[in-house]
Structure 1
Amino acid sequence: MPWLHRDCAANELHKVASRVEVERRGSVHQTATSRRDSSSNAEGHKPAVYPIAPKKTADKDLTYISATEVKKHDGKEGNRLFIVVDEIVLDCTDYINQHPGGKQIMQSFAGHNCSWQWWSFHDRKIWNGVAVNFRVGRTDGTANRFVPAYIGLRPLGYHGE
């Protein structure tokens, strides 16, 4: 059974399910639909839509998404909004308006890594209770645009974990 974004209407399920493609990359099965975001990048290519992973999926088994692809998901012009925390890609599109810290903070990190900022304001309980519900993949090479803040020898937000 393919996993789809919660915002898919029931009548779209049959259309989307008929276009599901499965690709094998190493030991990880990747599932991608041909349903795309509504906008195109400069080359005319539309960013792919990635399904929310089941909670029980281990991080190492998540679909690999290149840093270039993550950057395309900036929440602008109809694109989904991705952020990266510890190389895990979160699709925050459907959560952005409910975020207690406001949508502006999430928009400022769209398509980018925000690991140290995330852990400065959230703990493992929030990760396991909320963020895990938005995981769409794993990545590497996404840069954080800001230098981490330190207090003494520890990064800001360090909880001894």
Structure 2
Amino acid sequence: MGWMRAQRNDRKVLCAQSIASASPCDSKDKLASDQQNRVHIEDISTLQTPKHLQCPTLPFVSTSTPNADLPFLPATAITASPTHNQLYIVIDNIVYNCSSFVDEHPGGGQVIESFRAQDCSWQFWRFHSKDVMQAWGQPLRVARTEGVTNRWKERPRWVGLRRFRDRDEG
């Protein structure tokens, strides 16, 4: 959708006149005349994302391929264009294409969408096990990367062992 400017802005007047005359408003004729009077300022059919900002569409890698043998994708290729049609997330420097999985995610698609083109390693490992990663994550791998950051700092986990120490001392 591009910017547009109406040359004439008397639609309220036309509808008010037809209501006052108690005759039905012929909206098709008015719509046609309104469309003829619109001038588009920007032609969006020719707009494209510059190639250096486009994130490439990568094929899925076989589950038998080790992480070290995955193709390398620079962090700038992932983070430069987060609105790309592919939903890439990064977990432990491995890039996953979650575009086809986002609707199947048990926690809802919004969880994955919120990490589009970002690292979500510690958040992932707080809720998922290695078995989940093997079953669901391995088939979604497309590349490895370095330098993609997590926008939230991991909070330390506190384990309630203080009481055990207090009992030992007493």
The question of a shared fold, defined as TM-score above 0.5 by the shorter chain, is answered with yes
For residues 65 and 119 of structure 1, do their structure 2 counterparts lie closer, same or farther at Cα, with a shift above 3 Å needed?
Answer: same
Q: Pick from 109, 118, 123: which aligns with 1:117?
A: 123
For residues 72 and 146 of structure 1, do their structure 2 counterparts lie closer, same or farther at Cα, with a shift above 3 Å needed?
Answer: same
Q: Pick from 89, 97, 103: which aligns with 2:95?
A: 89
- For 1:105 and 1:40, how far apart are their aligned partners in 2? 29
Q: CA RMSD in A?
A: 1.8
On the 8 A contact 1:73/1:81 being kept in 2, the answer is no
- For 1:104 and 1:147, how far apart are their aligned partners in 2? 20
Q: Pick from 126, 131, 144: which aligns with 2:132?
A: 126
Task: Work out which structure has the larger RCO, using CA pairs closer than 8 Å and 6 or more positions apart in sequence.
Answer: 2
5+ residue gaps, structure 1, are 1-38, 154-161
**CA deviation profile, 1:21-47 (whole Å, cap 9, x unmatched):** xxxxxxxxxxxxxxxxxx953x35432
Q: Which has the larger radius of gyration?
A: 2
On the 8 A contact 1:73/1:80 being kept in 2, the answer is no
**CA deviation profile, 1:60-85 (whole Å, cap 9, x unmatched):** 000100101112463x3x52010000
- For 1:110 and 1:87, how far apart are their aligned partners in 2? 14
SS in 1 for 2:106: coil
On the 8 A contact 1:82/1:89 being kept in 2, the answer is yes
Counterpart of 1:50 in structure 2 is: 58
SS in 2 for 1:83: strand
TM-score (norm 2): 0.61
Deviation at 1:127, TM superposition (A): 0.5
Q: Among the aligned pairs, what percent are the same residue? A: 32
Which of the pair is proportionally richer in helix? 2
- For 1:124 and 1:134, how far apart are their aligned partners in 2? 15
**Correspondence 1:14-29 to 2 at 5 A:** none
5+ residue gaps, structure 2, are 1-46, 160-170
Counterpart of 1:101 in structure 2 is: 107
Q: Pick from 63, 67, 78: which aligns with 1:70?
A: 78
Deviation at 1:151, TM superposition (A): 1.8
Counterpart of 2:144 in structure 1 is: 138
